[in-house]
């Protein structure tokens, strides 16, 4: 289903991608302190740029997912710590609305890398109207509720990681 | 008179320094920051940063600061700080033209309640030229300290040369200086406007019983209240406005004021934060 607020969702963004992100896919958001461990710490600037990195759990093994999401961040700064991961279905993420409208607040866009085909981006949907500031704040907070619904997981296992 | 000065270089384009001083007899002080400025500048220029960072007991360098006494307590004294309250934070901003340059300055001022306070300042700027001084005349109820950047020969671009973080000013010396969540959150925020807005908004939250957690990245500062069944988030991005949301019945809903300013606590947010649980 094509969503007007997320035109990029409808077209695969990378030659390395397994395809556009389907609603039934599980999306993993790695928690690395201090980058992403606190309740509200989903970077707004990354959401605005549609560059919040997440992992498509159907297209990667558990250990590889950890390597690509957590280990990379830990390697670049020794003060960081790994605190597990959150997960939500793509449908749940796309189901977060902007204010009282029926417009989806977030887009889930495939953005596979050559050595990381399960890579995807989350971003705010269009338009980027400053008057929607409170609605976007609300959407971000509700996105965290969606992610937190299943709790924090710490086991990076499975092939695929999560089916 | 003694004074502690610690200075360190963050990187090639940013210098970071902090001062910590116990002030006495502030009520009639007049000031001259020349000696401090020269000291800091020479320390940076001459690469004597390591020496300046000597551990506290060895930092007995005496610096005259006008006729204001600066007394750094010895460690034993510091363990028993019989210091009085500082009762308010202020945010100030000033801009002045000089040689076609405009400097902006932001910081925190506080009122002096008693005769003896500890203050600590920390700021990051893109120049080695720093200047700090207490206000010219200090009386109880008036700002006790302020900072400013001097005009330098390099200031001809017409744009502010510096991004300034003035922070680390504590409201209670019995609390470690680095324990203020806002101070910690602003540690890596280099945007002048974002710092200013965050400090402004923090100022209007001071009287709330329920104080927020604060976190930040380089593009926003977030104030977050998490309690039993209640959860509110207010985000500042440095444009003078806030975005905020309130959790009601397990879901977040948007704040009623879609164009709220950092200078005012929106009515619905205030009600939410002050209502009895």
pLDDT per residue as tens digits for the range A14-55? 999 999 999 999 999 998 876 654 545 788 889 999 999 999
Q: Is the pLDDT of residue A75 over 80?
A: yes
Q: Is the pLDDT of residue A111 over 90?
A: yes
Q: Is the pLDDT of residue B237 over 60?
A: yes
Asked if residue B5 lies in contact with residue B65, where contact means CB atoms within 8 angstroms, the answer is no
**Chain A nearest CA to B178, separation (Å):** 17
pLDDT per residue as tens digits for the range B21-61? 222 222 222 222 333 222 222 222 222 222 222 222 222 22
| DSSP-derived secondary structure letter, A149 | T
Which range is least confidently modeled, A140-149, B91-100, B154-163?
A: B154-163
What percentage of residues in chain B have a pLDDT greater than 90? 17
Most confidently predicted of B81-95, B98-112, B213-227, B240-254: B240-254
Using pLDDT thresholds of 50, 70 and 90, give the confidence band for residue B183: low
Using pLDDT thresholds of 50, 70 and 90, give the confidence band for residue A77: confident
- CA end-to-end span of chain A: 21
Mean pLDDT of chain B: 50
A87 or B173, greater pLDDT: A87
Rounded average pLDDT over A102-118: 95
Q: Is the pLDDT of residue A97 over 90?
A: yes
Q: Is the pLDDT of residue B273 over 50?
A: yes
B45 burial level (CB within 10 Å; 0-12, 13-18, 19+): exposed
Please name the member of B215, B243, B250 whose beta carbon is closest to the beta carbon of A133: B243
The pTM for the full model equals 0.63
What does the domain layout of chain A look like in residue ranges?
Answer: 7-148
Q: Name B7's Cβ contacts closer than 8 Å, sequence gap at least 6.
A: B15, B17, B18, B40, B43, B44, B49, B52, B53
Rounded average pLDDT over B257-266: 95
A131 touches chain B (CB under 8 A): yes
- How high is the pLDDT of residue A36? 59
Rounded average pLDDT over B224-233: 90
- b/e A91-126 (16+ beta carbons within 10 angstroms → b): ebbbebbbbeeebbbbbbbbbbeeebbbbbbbbbbe
- How high is the pLDDT of residue B202? 84
Q: Which of A137, A87, A10, A119 is nearest to B223 (CA)?
A: A137
Q: Is the pLDDT of residue A2 over 60?
A: yes
**Chain B nearest CA to A98, separation (Å):** 9
| Assembly ipTM | 0.91
A129 touches chain B (CB under 8 A): no
- How high is the pLDDT of residue B3? 27
| Cβ contact, residue pair A138, B219, below 8 Å | no
Q: Tell me the C-alpha distance between B38 and B56, whole Å.
A: 21
What percentage of residues in chain B have a pLDDT greater than 70? 33
Q: Tell me the C-alpha distance between B263 and B202, whole Å.
A: 9
Most confidently predicted of A134-138, B16-20, B176-180, B209-213: A134-138
| Residue A80, CB-side half-sphere exposure with 13 Å CA sphere | 19
Which range is least confidently modeled, A89-103, A129-143, B100-114?
A: B100-114
β-strand partners of B122: B18, B167
- How high is the pLDDT of residue B8? 23
Put simply, the chain A residues between 55 and 94 with a CB less than 8 A from any chain B CB are none
Using pLDDT thresholds of 50, 70 and 90, give the confidence band for residue A83: confident
> What residues of B are in the A interface, CB distance below 8 Å?
213, 215, 217-220, 222, 224, 226, 231, 233-235, 237, 241-245, 247, 250-255, 257-260
Asked if residue B92 lies in contact with residue B146, where contact means CB atoms within 8 angstroms, the answer is yes
């Amino acid at each position: 289903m094509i969503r007007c607020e997320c035109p990029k969702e409808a077209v695969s963004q990378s030659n390395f991608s397994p395809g556009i992100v389907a609603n039934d896919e599980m999306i993993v958001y790695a928690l690395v302190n201090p980058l992403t461990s606190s309740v509200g710490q989903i970077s707004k600037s990354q959401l605005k740029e549609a560059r919040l990195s997440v992992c498509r759990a159907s297209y990667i093994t558990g250990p590889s997912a950890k390597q690509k999401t957590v280990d990379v961040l830990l390697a670049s700064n020794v003060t960081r710590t790994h605190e597990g991961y959150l997960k939500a279905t793509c449908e749940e993420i796309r189901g977060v609305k902007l204010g009282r409208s029926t417009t989806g607040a977030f887009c889930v866009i495939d953005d596979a890398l050559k050595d990381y085909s399960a890579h995807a981006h989350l971003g705010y949907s269009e338009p980027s109207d400053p008057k929607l500031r409170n609605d976007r704040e609300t959407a971000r907070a509700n996105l965290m509720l969606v992610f937190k619904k299943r709790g924090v997981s710490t086991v990076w296992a499975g092939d695929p990681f999560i089916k | 008179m003694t004074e502690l000065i610690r200075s360190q270089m963050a990187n090639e384009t940013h210098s970071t320094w902090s001062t910590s001083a116990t002030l006495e007899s502030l009520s009639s002080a007049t000031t001259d920051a020349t000696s401090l400025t020269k000291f800091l500048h020479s320390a940076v220029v001459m690469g004597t940063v390591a020496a300046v960072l000597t551990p506290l007991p060895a930092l007995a360098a005496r610096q005259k600061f006008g006729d204001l006494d600066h007394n750094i307590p010895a460690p034993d004294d510091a363990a028993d700080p019989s210091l009085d309250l500082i009762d308010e934070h202020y945010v100030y901003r000033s801009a002045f033209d000089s040689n076609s340059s405009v400097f902006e300055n932001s910081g925190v001022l506080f009122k002096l309640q008693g005769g003896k306070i500890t203050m600590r300042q920390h700021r990051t700027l893109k120049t080695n030229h720093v200047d700090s001084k207490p206000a010219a005349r200090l009386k109880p109820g008036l700002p006790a300290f302020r900072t400013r950047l001097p005009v330098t020969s390099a200031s001809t671009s017409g744009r502010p040369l510096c991004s300034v973080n003035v922070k680390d000013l504590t409201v209670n010396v019995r609390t470690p200086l680095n324990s203020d969540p806002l101070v910690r959150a602003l540690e890596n925020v280099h945007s002048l406007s974002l710092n200013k807005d965050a400090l402004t908004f923090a100022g209007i939250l001071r009287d709330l019983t329920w104080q927020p957690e604060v976190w930040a990245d380089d593009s926003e500062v977030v104030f977050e209240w998490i309690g039993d069944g209640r959860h509110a988030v207010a985000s500042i991005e440095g444009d003078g406005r806030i975005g905020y949301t309130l959790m009601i019945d397990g879901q977040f809903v948007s704040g009623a004021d879609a164009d709220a300013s950092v200078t005012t606590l929106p009515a619905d947010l205030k009600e939410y934060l002050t209502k009895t649980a």
